[in-house]
Structure 1
């Protein structure tokens, strides 16, 4: 089957900002459901798509017959009318003892190669599914590794992944993650410049992370990174605390955020990211979409500017990713 078109590719210009936002829900927040059940739930609730985390319970990227299983999933997504983005934040998919290990920054080159292999597999899956992006992150700087060495490892490790993404025609969307080497939007721009600003390197913007530690407000962050925006994750969060919260439990004012997002012309999925709420995943999936649609309606009626945050926090604790 042919992949879904990527909306920003046709003429190099961003699409019209009048297009409604498209919302998805992450399978890392539905980990207790079989993948087919999770997809059916999201379609029934009215979501536009799904953020698919490749994991042992949801399209295991390391199990046999990945290509055949991916083809079946593509058919199922089409039947349900769901678009997809591919996420690679599974906690223990490569190592049952190390959360998110090994990373792109590991001292052992063989360990780094395992993460690179996973990301290249993810690119192939994304191409076969017609996904609008592949998400990834840097990882935490290992103890005893100086920052310059870590940045060199990151650039070197991502080069073959970007080559695969370019060949497949799927954007690689790097996520700034609190506590990681690449933690902020400024860090993303450092990586982009180091790699020569390749066409297929884009940004995953987590709205909660902006609230947590960026000096700008979430809405201002969106406006600042519009040209590089390829994937969006969304949840509530508090300033200085990296804890993904259901909508209404944090401090984010969402109508200005969604107004800013719509104004960029972004047409990829905006995916609800609640990985620590899987125990009640169907409940939060049911609540999240009406909340976001209501905030979007308010945003389109009266999009209001939001003042900047000011100084960011240092290194936020309490990561729930």
Structure 2
């Protein structure tokens, strides 16, 4: 051993993953092996036609095989449901829980119920979802009622499965902010399985509080975290260093909450170079993250 070599930086208490929606050009087995080789703690698994298709036959058996693969690689998992065209080849993220057609809304509910079953089979930390965009002319009360009614059976299933449902505030959606999440909590009667997905970039994009303050405000409901760089007022997921976020205070705030889930890199528009950005992202996050108390770097 070279005594002059720099000692390795102690590991952060935070656990980092990478989203398969940023590795869409890879087979799922290859994507999981890549993340394990790079040293990630887990994966944000977006159920999609190329990655554990939730609508294809034999879902339970395929889920067991992926669970075995995750265990063999030592990867934790969160199940994400933001695939663009998994339900409709012509409508991005359609249909949603807010669609005027009740049969279309039921298709989204069915997808989320399938996601809960997959998450239970994988031993996932949470199931992620978002509200969708109301159709033109929909009054707010109707939109919120559709959202609450659609999520009710999913929350029941999540409670039975012991897997939290983590709703993500998404720019441009009905549920776009932390304040909107709390409105949903109130409508639903604050059910125990209902949690929050906090996207750090979205905080930079549109929340009134700085991202680190958003983390502290969200802490009691935090079940899943997505992370990337972003600029104020522009909903564009960027590689680390290409936006405006100061990450050390954000990650320090996250570690201070005692959050135990995954913090997953979310670069869905960078799949063309997914392995490259996966390789760059983990060292960036580890360098920006706090180290355990008493450690030296």
TM-score (norm 2): 0.94
278-287 vs 139-148, greater mean Cα deviation: 139-148
Q: Distance between the aligned counterparts of 1:290 and 1:146, measured in 2?
A: 46
Give me the whole-angstrom Cα distance separating, in 2, the residues matched to 1:76 and 1:38. 11
Structure 1 segments unaligned to the other structure (5+ residues): 1-17, 302-321
Counterpart check, 1:253 vs 2:252: no
1:269 corresponds to: 262
Alpha-carbon distance in structure 1 between the residues aligned to 2:255 and 2:97: 33
Q: How far 1:144 sits from its partner (Å)?
A: 1.4
Q: Secondary structure of the residue that 1:232 maps to in structure 2?
A: strand
Shift of 1:87: 0.1
Q: Secondary structure at the match of 2:43?
A: strand
- Within 5 Å, which residues of 2 pair with 1:40-79? 40-79=33-72
Question: Contact 1:182–1:188 (CA<8 Å) still a contact in 2?
Answer: yes
- Name the structure 1 match of 2:204: 211
Q: Please show how residues 1-321 of structure 1 align to structure 2 within 5 Å.
A: 20-297=13-290
Distance 2:115 2:293 in 1: 35
* Paired residues of 1:51 and 1:87 also in contact (CA < 8 A): yes
Moved more, 46-55 or 142-151: 142-151
Contact kept, 8 Å, 2:134 with 2:143, in 1: the verdict is yes
Deviating beyond 2 angstroms after TM superposition, the runs of 4 or more aligned structure 1 residues are 297-301
Distance 1:296 1:204 in 2: 19
Separation in structure 2 between the aligned mates of residue 299 and residue 223 of structure 1, nearest angstrom: 19
- Quote how far apart the aligned CAs of 1:299 are: 10
Distance in 2, Cα, partners of 1:143 & 1:166: 33
Count of residue pairs brought into register by the alignment:
284
Q: Which runs of 5+ in 2 are unaligned?
A: 1-10
Deviation at 1:297, TM superposition (A): 4.0
Distance 2:103 2:289 in 1: 46
Asked if the contact 1:256–1:299 (Cα under 8 Å) also holds between the matched residues in 2, the reply is no
Q: Return the TM-score normalized by structure 1.
A: 0.87
CA distance in 1, matches of 2:70, 2:89: 29
- 2:212·2:250 contact (CA, 8 Å) conserved in 1? yes
Measure, in 1, the Cα distance between the counterparts of 2:49 and 2:292. 38
3-state SS in 2 of match to 1:56: coil
Distance between the aligned counterparts of 2:290 and 2:169, measured in 1? Answer: 29
Contact 2:255 2:290 in 1 (8 A): no
Secondary structure in structure 2 of the residue aligned to 1:160: helix
In the alignment, the residues of structure 2 paired with residue 232 and residue 279 of structure 1 have an alpha-carbon distance, to the nearest angstrom, of 23
1:248 deviates by 0.1
Alignment CA distance shift 1:300-1:210 (3 Å): farther
Per the TM alignment, residue 298 of structure 1 is displaced from its structure 2 partner at its CA by 7.5
**C-alpha distance in 2, partners of 1:185/1:300?**
30
* Aligned-partner SS, 2:224: strand
Query: 2 CA distance for matches of 1:275 and 1:225?
Result: 24
